[in-house]
Structure 1
Amino acid sequence: MSTASESGGRGSTTRAVIVDDSRFMRTLIRRLLEEGGIEVVGEADDGSEAVDAVVEYDPDVVTMDIEMPTMNGIEAVEAIMDEHPTPVLMLSAHAEEDADVTFEALDRGAVDFVTKPGGEVTSSMPQVKRELVEKVESAARVDLSANARMSSKNASAATSASTSSAERTGAGASGVTTSRPSRKADSEPSASAAAGRSYPDAGTLVIGASTGGPNVVERVLSGLPRAANLRVLVVQHMPEGFTGRFSTRLDDKSEYTVQEAEESERIGPGEARVAPGGHHLVVSGDRNGRLRLELTETEPIHGVRPAVDLVMASAAENAAHPLCAVLLTGMGRDGVDGMGRIADAGGHTIAQDEATSAIFGMPKRAIETGSVETVAPAEEIAENALQYFAEE
């Protein structure tokens, strides 16, 4: 099983199985991966064959198509996680309907996704290859046991919440981590987190995440009561075309109004914005309790756009206190400098711990700089942030 280490898997070369019902696409993906130094140890043209190939070859990672005969990609992900847990990277077409299915695959156990290469050879192919190889390398290093631990704690919290309302209103993280279809209609868990507390008229929470982040971001947002009066900014490394659907998912599970950020808009307490794929998000001002947001298409930072560093640095410079930054699971160092900027500005900084991080890269590097005040498991991050924002 892959681990959270960023220094490599079982050997010096990442081993992959390719799953796609198109022979042409399998050939193209194989070529791109092998040119990028990935060893392709097996192929499959449907989900059932994929399960057999994973058992036979024991790869570091699987690239998985979504629509296939006999057994589709989502069913294959579930079967692989049941029979031979292996990191699965979904290859998704750039379409809204595929975005919904892709997020469902993440719910079932896939660790990340990448836009599926087009069939034509264009000038963008080197970039496509670089992104595919980087995503495969990152997915291969995911610690699946971290996901299992977090899922187990989710189940325990849900069971506790359904059997004891007294536990829901007590202190600690269990009252804010219950998994629910929609928090808009039922706000009891996060309302309990606000019980007995008062909050400033406006606070700012910045959340950054990469590989393994979507479900953790959902968990943090679902644990924030509207009464906390936060303006929330989310940067999740995600391709253009998917952040809109991600925003909708967060909106369904949060008491906050969550949308994809727009150019020159202002947001106030109770509102959250997600940086759109392909754009940097920056805070340009804070007036009358409302943050002014700008979008840019300047060069990627750390190879990504949006970048966590940029929104954190701009929030440190332009957002009024209280200010809190959260850095979640992910490979690389995006967000490390931003956490330092927020710490220097007097804000509070929280990093996800190793045990619940799919990849303990970004949080680890931030911790090593000394700029992180609190290291917390995924299920305690929302509560820790709320304790910081609560007025004495």
Structure 2
Amino acid sequence: MYTVLIIDDSASMRRIIKDMINSIEEFEVIADAVDAYDAREKIKEYEPDLVTIDINMPKMNGVTFLRNLMRLHPMPAVVISGESVRGNDIFDDGAVGFINKPDRGESMISFASRIKDNLLNLTFLLKRYTLKKPKPIKKVVSSKAKDLDRKVHPDEVIKSMPARLGGKRVIAIGSSTGGVESLLKVFKDLTANLPPILITQHIPYGFSKSFADRLNSNSEVIVHEAKDGMVLENGHAYLAPGNMHLTIEKGTAGVYKTKLLDTIKVSHHRPSVDVLFRSVNNVVGSSAMAVMMTGMGDDGSIAMKELHDNGAYTIAQNQESCVVFGMPAKAIQKGAVKDIVHLDDIAKYIIDFSKGRVK
């Protein structure tokens, strides 16, 4: 079952589209939104597999919202609009489908048939872009359902080990909302031959490979979507897949290797920054550098404090350059950060760390 959020300022059109989508066996509408700002909150709350977007909306038009969505929180989106002239353009903006709203001469049966055909044609993409998820938790839920949605501490996935000193240098980066464009900026300014870089960016399943490719083409660093058992090499970076926790372990001959965990969400996320940072602290300890970048929530703050207390070098993106000053702010509040850095300077700090200029 694929879950859908409908975004349209017309109550009657939302109702019509909802009934039509709910009649398709493979799809379920879990929420609707009246404008882009309402949609932003609903996406955070329900994490739908697919959104439908109208172009003519108050406060922010659908094209602008689509572009922002692809930049900040990429996910499958279908435009349902009466502006057929925009039909080709929206694919360049990141949409995976376009459906014309019915004109005066078209029956609702015909419109429903077009919606069904379009959505069913997208199921092969949705299988790549999304995980099958349980039905979303509604606003009125049982105590058992609430317990399933509780915030999980990193202890329940990866245990904290005693402080570790020394070892090969490793850089770990955590980011969320706004991180896609911010990471592209940082990686554009990085040089080759840096210590291995591990990245956890909150990103939907299916988008992490294409994002790793974008980073790779944008940098002298060779960027991979992480796979289980990859040996960490200097000059390479490893991005967590959109549905797995990224950790590292020590292999034979002192090499570090990636280890992917298909376990529960931590801090409501999989991949989780807390899981990555704690793993790096357990294996690399004081020889690590941790970078907390733009993002909503507090994921990563627990393990970043452990890294900081273990002697690792920790920095956080400053409020001025963050899209959302959530994750960096929480880390700063916990006393987990040594230096607070503008986005434009993060690459320089990483390079300086790799050369032993900061600690």
What is the TM-score with the length of structure 1 in the denominator? 0.57
User: 2:31 maps to what in 1?
Assistant: 32
User: 2:270 maps to what in 1?
Assistant: 305
Letter in 2 for 1:54: K
CA 97–382 in structure 1, closer or farther in 2 if over 3 Å, else same: farther
Letter in 2 for 1:294: K
Deviation at 1:277, TM superposition (A): 1.3
User: 1:208 maps to what in 2?
Assistant: 174
Q: Do residues 124 (structure 1) and 134 (structure 2) align?
A: yes
Say if 1:67 and 1:73, in contact at 8 Å, map to a contact too: no
Deviation at 1:263, TM superposition (A): 1.2
Letter in 2 for 1:225: T
Say if 2:286 and 2:307, in contact at 8 Å, map to a contact too: no
Identity %: 25
User: 1:274 maps to what in 2?
Assistant: 239
Find the aligned partners of 1:301 and 1:210 in 2 and give their Cα distance. 14
CA 30–379 in structure 1, closer or farther in 2 if over 3 Å, else same: same
Say if 1:207 and 1:327, in contact at 8 Å, map to a contact too: yes
Find the aligned partners of 1:311 and 1:31 in 2 and give their Cα distance. 31
Deviation at 1:125, TM superposition (A): 2.8
Kindly name which structure, 1 or 2, has the bigger radius of gyration based on alpha carbons.
2
CA 24–358 in structure 1, closer or farther in 2 if over 3 Å, else same: same
Secondary structure at the counterpart of residue 379 of structure 1? helix
Find the aligned partners of 1:129 and 1:94 in 2 and give their Cα distance. 28
Find the aligned partners of 1:230 and 1:384 in 2 and give their Cα distance. 13
CA 18–376 in structure 1, closer or farther in 2 if over 3 Å, else same: farther
Deviation at 1:241, TM superposition (A): 1.0
Deviation sequence 1:75-117 (CA, Å, 0-9, x none): 5998xxxxxxxxxxxxxx6766999xxxxxxxxxxxxxx96x9
Find the aligned partners of 2:339 and 2:176 in 1 and give their Cα distance. 19
Which residues of structure 2 form unaligned runs of 5+?
Answer: 1-5, 23-27, 40-51, 70-75, 94-121, 141-165
Secondary structure at the counterpart of residue 86 of structure 2? coil
User: 2:46 maps to what in 1?
Assistant: none
Letter in 2 for 1:222: K
Equivalence map 1:235-246=2 (5 Å): 235-246=200-211
Deviation at 1:252, TM superposition (A): 0.7
Q: Do residues 248 (structure 1) and 253 (structure 2) align?
A: no
Q: Do residues 366 (structure 1) and 331 (structure 2) align?
A: yes
Find the aligned partners of 1:75 and 1:358 in 2 and give their Cα distance. 24
Equivalence map 1:280-319=2 (5 Å): 280-285=245-250, 290-319=255-284
User: 1:193 maps to what in 2?
Assistant: none
Letter in 2 for 1:368: Q
Find the aligned partners of 1:243 and 1:253 in 2 and give their Cα distance. 15
CA 383–201 in structure 1, closer or farther in 2 if over 3 Å, else same: farther
What is the TM-score with the length of structure 2 in the denominator? 0.62
Say if 2:229 and 2:258, in contact at 8 Å, map to a contact too: yes
Say if 2:167 and 2:287, in contact at 8 Å, map to a contact too: no
Deviation at 1:222, TM superposition (A): 2.1
Deviation sequence 1:337-383 (CA, Å, 0-9, x none): 12112112211111111111111111001001111011111111111
Q: Report the count of equivalent residues.
A: 266
Find the aligned partners of 1:129 and 1:248 in 2 and give their Cα distance. 38
Q: Do residues 18 (structure 1) and 8 (structure 2) align?
A: yes
Which residues of structure 1 form unaligned runs of 5+?
Answer: 1-15, 79-92, 100-113, 131-199
Equivalence map 1:348-387=2 (5 Å): 348-387=313-352
Query: Cα RMSD between the aligned structures?
Result: 4.3
User: 1:148 maps to what in 2?
Assistant: none
Match 2:308 to one of 333, 337, 343: 343
Q: Do residues 222 (structure 1) and 203 (structure 2) align?
A: no
CA 285–201 in structure 1, closer or farther in 2 if over 3 Å, else same: closer
CA 353–67 in structure 1, closer or farther in 2 if over 3 Å, else same: same
CA 71–56 in structure 1, closer or farther in 2 if over 3 Å, else same: closer
Say if 1:206 and 1:324, in contact at 8 Å, map to a contact too: yes
User: 1:263 maps to what in 2?
Assistant: 228
Find the aligned partners of 1:295 and 1:128 in 2 and give their Cα distance. 31
Secondary structure at the counterpart of residue 233 of structure 1? strand
CA 56–260 in structure 1, closer or farther in 2 if over 3 Å, else same: closer
Secondary structure at the counterpart of residue 215 of structure 1? helix
Find the aligned partners of 1:74 and 1:25 in 2 and give their Cα distance. 25
Secondary structure at the counterpart of residue 31 of structure 2? helix
Find the aligned partners of 2:139 and 2:244 in 1 and give their Cα distance. 21
Deviation at 1:216, TM superposition (A): 0.8
Find the aligned partners of 1:56 and 1:240 in 2 and give their Cα distance. 27
Find the aligned partners of 2:225 and 2:284 in 1 and give their Cα distance. 19
Secondary structure at the counterpart of residue 234 of structure 1? strand
